[in-house]
Amino acid sequence: MAKLIDGKAVSQKVKEEVRAEIEREGLKVGLAVVIVGNDQASRVYVNNKKKACEVCGIRSFEYALPEETTEKELLDLVDTLNNDPEVNGILVQLPLPKHLDSEKVIARISPEKDVDAFHAENVGKIMIGNYAFLPCTPAGVMELIHSTGTDVSGKECVVIGRSNIVGKPMAMLLLHENATVTICHSRTKDLAAVCRRADILVSAVGKADFVTADMVKEGAVVIDVGMNRNAENKLCGDVKFDEVEPKVSYITPVPGGVGPMTIAMLMKNTLMAKRIQSR
C-alpha cells in the first residue's frame, strides 16, 4: 500500500515559508498576471494564483484583456510591466488566442521577471545548472519527491513526455541531482519495459489512465503530472491510480498532488525575482 504524497500540505508549507520570508525581510513583492480572452480553465488558474498571492503577502496585479487584443497591444503591456518597479514577476497565462504568438510574447518578458522560467535565457540557464528560476511544475515535482525523504542521487528515473514546460526541464532537474534519467515519448520502443526500470517515474503525457500496473516497478515513487477527464468526465491523472497504488511506495493523487505545487513554486519564484531585482 503506497503512501499518498499530499500536494496540498507540501504546497501550504512552501507558501507559509514564502510569507514568513517576505514578512521577516519587510519586502514589497508584486506579481502581474495577464489573461487574454475567456478560457474558463485559464480563469480558474488565474483566480487560484490571486488567492495564493494573498496567502503569501504578495501584491497581485491582474490584466484581463479581451479576446480581440492585438499582438502589439499585448507586447506593449509586457513592455510597460517590464519597466514597472512594483512588478517583480510577469506571468502571461497560456494558452493565448490563436492569433497571438506565445513564443514572441514570452521572449518579450524580461528574463529577471520571467517567473514561469519559459524565456530562452532562463531555459538555457537550467540546462547548464546556473539558474535562478525553475519552471513551476517540475520544481514542484522535486519538492514532492524530497518530501518523501527519497534521495534522488543514483536513482533510475523515467520521465514520460518531452514538452518544453514539463518533460525536458523535469529531466534536467533530476539530472542535476545525479539521477540517471530516461525521457520517453510517442516513439519510444517498448515503453512499459523502460518504465519498469524506474525507481522514480514521472508521467506528463496528458492521457487518462495511460500508466498501468504492468508499467511500474515494485516500490517505485510515482508522480502523476497529468490532469485529464476520464469517460465519466471525472478529473483524473495519467496513472491508473487504483491499479498502480498497491504496487508502489509513494504516489501523488489527482487532484491534490502536483497541481497545488505549481502555484506554490510560482510564489517562490516571484520572491526570488524580487531579490534578484534588489541586488
Residue 239 pairs with which residues in a beta bridge?
A: 211
Question: b vs e for 111-133, b when ≥16 Cβ sit within 10 Å of the residue's Cβ?
Answer: bbbbbbbbbeebbebbeeeebbb
Start-to-end C-alpha separation, the chain: 49
Handedness of CA 80, 83, 87, 90 (dihedral sign): positive
SS3 136: helix
Catalytic (active site) residue 49: yes
* DSSP letter assigned to residue 246: G
Do the beta carbons of residue 60 and residue 86 sit within 8 Å? no
Q: Considering 49, 113, 168, 217, which one is annotated as catalytic?
A: 49
C-alpha cell at 225: 503530472
SS3 119: coil
Q: Considering 15, 113, 114, 116, which one is annotated as catalytic?
A: 116
Q: Considering 15, 93, 114, 274, which one is annotated as catalytic?
A: 93
Provide the annotated active-site residues: 49, 93, 116
